[in-house]
Amino acid sequence: MKKLIFAAALLVSCTAIQVAHAQIGVRLNLNIGSQPDWGPVGYDHADYYYMPDVDAYYDVPAHQYVYYENNVWVHRSSLPARYGNYNPYNSYKVVINRPNPWLRNSYYRQTYANYRGRRDQVVIRDSRDAKYRNHWKDNNGYGRDDRRDDHHDNGNHYGDRNHGGDHDNGRGHGNGHGHGRDN
């Protein structure tokens, strides 16, 4: 009888641990739907993007840019006019999953200086990976390749691009860069 009670208690404990772990994993590790269409592919979770071209950050959960202005870091819904030529769709972004990365800006500026001017990063908008399905379906449920009328895409022919290799299970791209590791 004692063995039966022990086995039942062990089974209940294991189940409770697995459920708790699954709930934490979903809450903390996935924010694909919060990432903008211009975010880099390959990340199931991103707190911030560092944008070396403008030496600024994007706060993914808050949907705000963080940049240096008048000797302070400010949070705004858009970049200032001085960045008018910046296009996040064709510039490199580094994923950083550490709080307040701008407090270590000199580290990120130096570490990712070589990424300034790079235009080879695939963005969510251009990915065919199924995990980005909600990003690449329009409001009528059609994928960009399935659109019935050309006038719906406003001249952006991103549906005819084929970017293979996006199935990296959240490990990202960039030879290990962009995972928020500092050292």
Domain locations in the chain as residue ranges: 31-123
More confident residue, 165 or 122: 122
Q: Which of 90, 109, 68 is nearest to 156 (CA)?
A: 90
- Residues 68-102 have pLDDT tens digits of 999 999 999 999 999 999 999 999 999 999 999 99
Band (pLDDT 50/70/90 cuts) for residue 29 is low
pLDDT value for 44: 87
pLDDT value for 173: 40
Place of tokens 């690449």: 136
Looking at every residue in the chain, the average pLDDT score rounds to 72
Q: How far apart are CA 68 and CA 109, in angstroms?
A: 13
pLDDT value for 91: 95
Q: Are 95 and 101 in contact (CB under 8 A)?
A: no
More confident residue, 147 or 41: 41
Q: Which of 51, 43, 145 is nearest to 90 (CA)?
A: 51
Place of tokens 């500092």: 182
pLDDT value for 12: 58
Q: With 50 as the cut, is the pLDDT of residue 139 above it?
A: no
pLDDT value for 61: 94
pLDDT value for 137: 52
Full-model pTM: 0.61
Write out the two tokens for 28: 């903390």
Q: With 90 as the cut, is the pLDDT of residue 4 above it?
A: no
pLDDT value for 34: 79
